[in-house]
């Protein structure tokens, strides 16, 4: 049953991290809200303005200082912390002022943000007297499971430097030391998680503060791509939309699949240089990009970097996955694939075609794989997707409206 009890249209602001994998999951929620008569404003890196506007939302743009954050396959020691600090400063100096300038005269009922924009999102919600809602495009965190602890070295001096920046920023906006612990947690009191609880690490420890709504998969139009007519198996190979070209990876994948039995579809990522791959066998077709839902219903396996968007699309179509994770939390997602019985993991280090081929064959020959895929497909599809996310958000926002503190603070000079 719908949660919404307040007939007035909502205005929701969305502050996603400047990455396709973070922007894309929120677009389904935006479309559902707009279809229900609500308004959505994004404060978003200029590269994603077109996607936002296609969804029917307003795009307020800025230029992100993201750099290579999350893109590097083998980050140098300390690189993640240093780039994370630069992004923290960027969210305070760029994203936050852009949000206040855009929203001061049209305050939202809710501010949706993800972890990389936590400072801008939570403080903007406070200043605007809006409901803060954290979005998780990957694994959520709670008192039991901490993604931050898996990724960040607390002893790194950059961590203390970042904490100092946060304390100063929050103090500037009336958040005292007694409140800062709540503003520094990895989760909020209201959280939308874009994966099913079954795939969440320690999923049974999460309470009703977390709505596991699953992914926002958009099925591809008929005829966008067709499988080979000769009946060969199909493998889809990708490193995601933004990882760029990694010629050795793609060449190894091409060699791993027997041309007599397999047809291989490769999506290189936006802006990738096709020429760096060199000549490829005839059983391989290459695209800069092709929506994966066009191929996955016909694919026998997905080979990917374990990005959550790619994984959720594969599981939506019950396609098994061979994951070759890069850095950061991707290794945890790859491990979760194995725990759920729907995938295998390979190390990028010393990857060769023979090991690759053996891993694919072992996964497909495992008698437990089909049943595990059916279970996970049901979990993904039954999570509720965009409709449940929008309905849940409407209920949270309506409740906040009844209890909000009053008019937004005077922020005319804050930006």
- Give the CA angle between residues 251, 257, 261 to the nearest 5°: 145
Q: Name which of 95-104, 123-132, 218-227 the model is least confident about.
A: 218-227
In order, the DSSP letters of 241-263 are SSS---HHHHHHHHHHS-TTTEE
Predicted confidence at residue 402, as pLDDT, reads: 86
CA distance readout (Å), 157 to 146, 301, 371, 410: 20, 43, 47, 36
CA distance readout (Å), 121 to 17, 188, 360: 11, 11, 42
Predicted confidence at residue 243, as pLDDT, reads: 62
Ramachandran category for residue 78: left, alpha or beta (phi over 0 → left; psi -120 to 50 → alpha): left
Cβ(321)–Cβ(302) below 8 Å: yes
The more confident residue out of 196 and 76 is: 196
Would you call 137 exposed, middle or buried from its count of C-beta atoms within 10 A (0-12, 13-18, 19+)? buried
Q: Which two tokens stand for residue 77?
A: 């020691």
Would you call 40 exposed, middle or buried from its count of C-beta atoms within 10 A (0-12, 13-18, 19+)? buried
Number of Cβ within 10 Å of residue 221's Cβ equals 10
Predicted confidence at residue 413, as pLDDT, reads: 34
How much is the average pLDDT of 177-195? 89
- The tens digit of pLDDT for each residue in 75-104 reads 555 666 677 788 889 999 999 999 999 999
Band of pLDDT at residue 73, cut at 50, 70 and 90: low
Band of pLDDT at residue 365, cut at 50, 70 and 90: very high
How much is the average pLDDT of 269-286? 87
For 374, half-sphere exposure in the C-beta direction (CA atoms, 13 angstrom radius) is 4
Predicted confidence at residue 235, as pLDDT, reads: 98
Taking 60 as the threshold, does the pLDDT of residue 411 lie above it? Answer: no
For each of the domains in the chain, give its residue range(s) and CATH number, in order of start.
11-214+383-403 (3.40.50.2000), 233-380 (3.40.50.2000)
- Average model confidence (pLDDT) for the chain? 89
Predicted confidence at residue 150, as pLDDT, reads: 72
- The tens digit of pLDDT for each residue in 11-60 reads 999 999 998 889 999 999 999 999 999 999 999 999 999 999 999 999 99
How much is the average pLDDT of 299-304? 97
**Is this model's pTM higher than 0.85 or not?**
yes
Q: Name which of 55-59, 181-185, 354-358 the model is least confident about.
A: 181-185
Query: What DSSP designation does 277 have?
Result: G
d(CA 390, CA 350): 45
How much is the average pLDDT of 338-356? 94
- Give the CA angle between residues 261, 264, 267 to the nearest 5°: 170
Q: Name which of 246-250, 266-270, 317-321, 399-403 the model is least confident about.
A: 246-250
Taking 80 as the threshold, does the pLDDT of residue 247 lie above it? Answer: no
């Amino acid at each position: 049953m719908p949660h919404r009890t307040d007939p007035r249209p909502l205005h929701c602001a969305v502050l996603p991290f400047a990455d396709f994998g973070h922007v894309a999951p929120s677009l389904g929620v935006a479309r559902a809200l707009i279809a229900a008569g609500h308004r959505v404003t994004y404060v978003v890196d200029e590269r994603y303005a077109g996607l936002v506007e296609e969804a029917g939302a307003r795009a307020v743009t800025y230029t992100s200082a993201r750099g290579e954050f999350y893109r590097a396959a083998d980050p140098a020691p300390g690189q993640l912390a240093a780039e994370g600090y630069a992004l923290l400063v960027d969210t305070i100096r760029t994203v936050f002022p852009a949000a206040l300038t855009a929203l001061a005269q049209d305050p939202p009922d809710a501010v949706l943000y993800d972890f990389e924009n936590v400072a801008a999102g939570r403080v903007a919600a406070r200043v605007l007297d809006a409901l803060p809602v954290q979005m998780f495009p990957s694994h959520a965190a709670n008192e039991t499971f901490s993604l931050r602890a898996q990724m960040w070295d607390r002893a790194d001096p950059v961590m203390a430097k970042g904490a100092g920046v946060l304390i100063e920023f929050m103090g500037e906006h009336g958040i005292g030391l007694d409140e800062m612990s709540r503003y520094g947690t990895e989760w909020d009191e209201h959280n939308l998680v874009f994966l099913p609880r079954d795939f969440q690490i320690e999923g049974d420890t999460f309470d009703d503060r977390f709505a596991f709504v699953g992914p926002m998969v958009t099925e591809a139009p008929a005829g966008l791509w067709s499988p080979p007519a000769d009946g060969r198996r199909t493998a889809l190979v990708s490193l995601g939309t933004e990882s760029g070209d990694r010629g050795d990876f793609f060449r190894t994948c091409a060699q791993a699949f027997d041309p007599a039995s397999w047809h291989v579809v490769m999506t290189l990522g936006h802006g990738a240089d096709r020429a760096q791959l060199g000549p490829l066998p005839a059983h391989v077709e290459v695209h800069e990009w092709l929506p994966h839902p066009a191929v996955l219903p016909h694919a026998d396996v997905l080979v990917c970097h374990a990005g959550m968007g790619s994984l959720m699309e594969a599981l939506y179509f019950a396609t098994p996955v061979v994951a070759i994770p890069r850095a950061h939390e991707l290794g945890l997602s790859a491990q979760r694939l194995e725990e759920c019985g729907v995938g295998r993991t390979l190390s990028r280090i010393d990857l060769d075609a023979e090991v690759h081929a053996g891993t694919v064959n072992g996964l497909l020959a495992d008698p437990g794989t089909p049943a595990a895929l059916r279970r996970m497909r049901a979990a993904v599809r039954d999570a509720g997707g965009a409709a449940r996310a929008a309905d849940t958000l409407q209920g949270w926002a309506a409740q906040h409206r009844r209890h909000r503190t009053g008019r937004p603070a005077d922020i005319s000079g804050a930006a």
